[in-house]
Amino acid sequence: MKKYKIYFLLFTIFSNTLISQNLADKKVLVVWGGWDGHKPELFANHVENWLIKEKADYKIINGLDAYDNYDELIKYDLIIQSVTMDEISKKQEENLVKAVLNGVGIAGAHGGLVDSFRKNTNYQFMIGGQFVAHPGGMIKHKVKILDDELTIGLSDFDILSEQYYMHYDPSVKIIAETKFSGEVYPWIKDVIMPVAWKKMYGKGKVFFISIGHDPDEFMVYKDGWELLTRGFMWAVR
């Protein structure tokens, strides 16, 4: 009973902090583009609606021109990215990585963050992982929520989405995970893979969640959306 009282107290404190906190004094950059199959513009629209409620000073840009100028990038407190299977120039990658290294947060979901630039290992090192497969395509699977300040009050949930298999940095802090059934590929039965993680990169914070093949998933699975937006809040400088 004492344990549950402690969890309830932590949940109350965390919830009140989130309720009282907004992004009114923060600058947020939303960058979308790349492969249309992940509906990046729809993701940006959902994020924009949330940013308006949070009173953020935000800018939305379609394409990677947003990464052309380091002096402009470093002015932001958070970058929310939804760009899949695109190509980033060496200078753009350098600017983005340097901005995060010096304190700008970066966050995103699904392939929009971990399958953005397949040729760019410096970017992948910063994010903490890279997509490699989604066995079975759209498949029902369970998301297990782990103990963390960002997951207080959230519950495990079943979801119909792509179950991402990734190469990931062992130093990331995993805050949600999933187990593969082996139904599609028997040799990966019982493999546990991250669904969400957070990490530091220099002075910058990085947050990632793997669900969201269709951005409308976040409108259906509310704990997924809650975790995503808490991740945004956490990653802000």
pLDDT of residue 4: 47
Is residue 216 classed as helix, strand or coil in its secondary structure?
A: coil
DSSP per-residue letters across 7-72: HHHHHHHHHHHHHH---TT-EEEEEEEE-GGG-HHHHHHHHHHHHHHTT-EEEEEESGGGGS-HHH
- Tell whether 168 is covered by a domain: no
Query: Strand (E) positions, 63-211?
Result: 78-84, 105-109, 129-133, 138-145, 157-162, 165-168, 173-179, 192-201, 204-209
What CATH number is attached to the domain comprising 107? 3.40.50.880
Using a 10 angstrom Cβ sphere, with 0-12 exposed, 13-18 middle and 19 or more buried, the burial of residue 146 is middle
- Tell whether 161 is covered by a domain: no
- Tell whether 184 is covered by a domain: no
Q: What's the token pair of residue 47?
A: 């994020």
* Rounded Cα gap, residues 214 and 82, in angstroms: 12
pTM reported for the whole predicted model: 0.91
Q: What's the token pair of residue 167?
A: 């190469």
- Tell whether 185 is covered by a domain: no
pLDDT tens, per residue, the chain with 237 residues:
554 445 545 554 555 454 346 899 999 999 999 999 999 999 999 999 999 999 999 999 999 999 999 999 999 999 999 999 999 999 999 999 999 999 999 999 999 999 999 999 999 999 999 999 999 999 999 999 999 999 999 999 999 999 999 999 999 999 999 999 999 999 999 999 999 999 999 999 999 999 999 999 999 999 999 999 999 999 999
* Rounded Cα gap, residues 47 and 229, in angstroms: 9
- Tell whether 13 is covered by a domain: yes
- Tell whether 149 is covered by a domain: no
Cβ within 8 Å of residue 161, ≥6 positions away:
138, 139, 141, 211, 212, 213, 214, 217
* Rounded Cα gap, residues 30 and 47, in angstroms: 8
- Looking at the DSSP assignment, which residues form a beta bridge with residue 79? 29, 106
- Tell whether 205 is covered by a domain: yes
pLDDT of residue 16: 47
Domain count, the chain: 1
Domain that holds residue 57: 2-130+196-235
